[in-house]
């Protein structure tokens, strides 16, 4: 079995949901569920939180993640690409791992079985450099428009079609998937060989139900609380106080 590391990115300075990573949801900070998920999956040799904040680092450690160092501020801005902190973390750790998984704190309803399924799928797909979580789009790009002055045109060229996608029913359109942030697993070689976190060949990992739910703004936060309160979605078990 290849050795693997779980990386939990948790920078400070969240703009749309203040202190999102350490904000309590059902009694625990959001970050706690990502740590618990990674630990309970039983497939990682190490669980590391990458953060620029000592406060967030303390929370991560309290719930069982390693925080061997803090991320430099310049790698923790709202526009910093993931490849920067990822490359920095893997290099700074100085340890070899065959695989890495990005387990984001913003997906509270993704349980350990998602990580287990993801790893099994990647190992069973030798032609893939990585897998990435996706789900069917609700707003189809075939019905999207670009405004150009006083007129607009379809985002996608549909001039060759007998019936344009924007004029058809959703059920008649080709299936299109959008990525969500529930899971990414990749061979670590892709970071050095391609300068990306996903490589050149990416396999789809299809999330189910609320597994792909992402907390991105206050509306999402309110919905997450409602899903927990109603029992429609289940949070991973957290064993710590």
Shared-domain flag, residues 32 and 80: yes
Residue 217 CB contacts under 8 Å (≥ 6 apart), including other chains:
16, 17
* Segment 9-54, tens digit of pLDDT: 998 877 677 788 989 999 999 999 999 999 999 999 999 999 989 9
- Secondary structure class of 51 (helix, strand, coil): coil
Strand ordering across the sheet containing 46-50: 46-50, 4-9, 99-102, 177-187, 130-136, 202-206
Shared-domain flag, residues 119 and 94: yes
Residue 235 lies in a domain: no
Shared-domain flag, residues 31 and 103: yes
Cα radius of gyration (the chain): 19
6 forms beta bridges with 47, 101
231 forms beta bridges with none
24 forms beta bridges with 29
Residue 198 CB contacts under 8 Å (≥ 6 apart), including other chains:
129, 130, 132, 184, 186, 190
* Segment 139-170, tens digit of pLDDT: 999 999 999 999 999 999 988 988 889 988 88
State the residue range of the domain holding 71.
4-134+179-230
Shared-domain flag, residues 33 and 82: yes
Q: Which of 19, 29, 23, 198 is nearest to 102 (CA)?
A: 198
What sign does the dihedral 10-14-16-21 (CA atoms) show? positive
Shared-domain flag, residues 68 and 165: no
CATH of the domain at 64: 3.90.550.10
Q: Is the confidence at residue 241, as pLDDT, over 70?
A: no
Shared-domain flag, residues 102 and 125: yes
How far apart are the C-alpha atoms of 3 and 42, rounded to whole Å? 11
* Segment 96-147, tens digit of pLDDT: 999 999 999 999 999 999 999 999 999 999 999 999 999 999 899 999 999 9
How far apart are the C-alpha atoms of 238 and 37, rounded to whole Å? 9
Shared-domain flag, residues 151 and 193: no
Shared-domain flag, residues 92 and 50: yes
pTM of the model: 0.90
Residue 149 CB contacts under 8 Å (≥ 6 apart), including other chains:
none
Shared-domain flag, residues 93 and 196: yes
């Amino acid at each position: 079995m290849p050795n693997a590391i779980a990386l939990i990115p948790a920078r400070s300075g969240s703009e749309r949901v203040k202190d999102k990573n350490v904000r309590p949801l059902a009694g625990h900070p959001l970050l706690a569920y990502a740590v618990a998920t990674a630990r309970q999956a039983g497939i990682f040799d190490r669980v590391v939180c990458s953060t620029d904040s000592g406060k967030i680092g303390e929370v991560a450690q309290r719930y069982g993640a390693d925080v061997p160092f803090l991320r430099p501020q310049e790698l923790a801005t709202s526009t910093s690409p993931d490849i920067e902190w990822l490359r920095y973390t893997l290099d700074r750790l100085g340890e070899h791992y065959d695989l890495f998984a990005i387990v984001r704190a913003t997906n509270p309803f993704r349980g350990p079985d998602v990580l287990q399924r993801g790893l099994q799928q990647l190992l069973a797909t030798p032609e893939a450099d990585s897998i990435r979580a996706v789900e069917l789009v609700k707003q189809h790009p075939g019905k999207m428009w670009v405004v150009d002055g006083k007129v607009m045109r379809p985002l996608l060229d549909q001039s060759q079609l007998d019936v344009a996608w924007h004029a058809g029913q959703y059920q008649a359109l080709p299936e299109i998937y959008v990525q969500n942030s529930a899971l990414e697993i990749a061979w670590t070689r892709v970071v050095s060989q391609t300068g990306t976190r996903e490589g050149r060949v990416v396999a789809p990992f299809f999330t189910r139900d609320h597994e792909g739910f992402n907390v991105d703004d206050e509306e999402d936060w309110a919905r997450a609380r409602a899903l927990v309160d109603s029992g429609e979605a289940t949070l991973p078990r957290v064993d710590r106080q």
